[in-house]
Amino acid sequence: MRDYTYCPRCRHELTEITAEPANPHVRCARCGFTKWDNPLPSTIGVLVDGSSVLLLRRAHPPRAGSWDAVGGFLNPGESAEDCLRREAREEIGCGIELGRFLGTFPSVYGESGLRTLGIAFSCRLAGGEIRLSGENDSFGWFRGDDLPELAFGDVAAAVASWFAAR
């Protein structure tokens, strides 16, 4: 909530409400504007081939140089499934086939402090050759015993969940 000091509606100073420490928010005493620290929904595609998962090395912050899964933030009005298909086309230039729902995983987006909720599915490539966008600078297939440092806690938890369920 550190990004909210003044009300975006009336510019009055906001008050941090901490009565429920697990559910922080800010409120404007003048106009009633309230901003909760709700997580941003994102998708995680654990792309699998046999006993390996596809990971992408991030080219940009946050966490540039560490590894990530296909996925991203949902657009308004977009389902998690459609988001994941869109992100796969954008990030690796391939279609995907969604498999099993792996779960939801809370995390924080890098050092931003923004809370996220990753919605994860196992997936398979639907054909085509991987062509990376500028978001990532390389990719690799990794087994559970040779995983690199993963960029975000929700991705690490989703990947671990897939390996545990194998």
List where CATH 3.90.79.10 sits in the chain.
Answer: 40-165
- pLDDT per residue, tens digit, the chain (166 aa), is 667 899 999 999 999 998 988 888 999 999 999 999 899 999 999 999 999 999 999 999 999 999 999 999 999 999 999 999 999 999 999 999 999 999 999 999 988 888 999 999 999 999 889 999 999 999 999 999 999 999 999 999 999 999 999 8
Q: How many angstroms separate the Cα of 60 from the Cα of each of 23, 44, 162?
A: 31, 18, 26
CA 7, CA 152: separation in Å to the nearest integer? 30
pTM check: above 0.85: yes
Class of domain 40-165: alpha beta
Q: How many angstroms separate the Cα of 101 from the Cα of each of 25, 45, 81, 123, 165?
A: 31, 10, 10, 9, 12
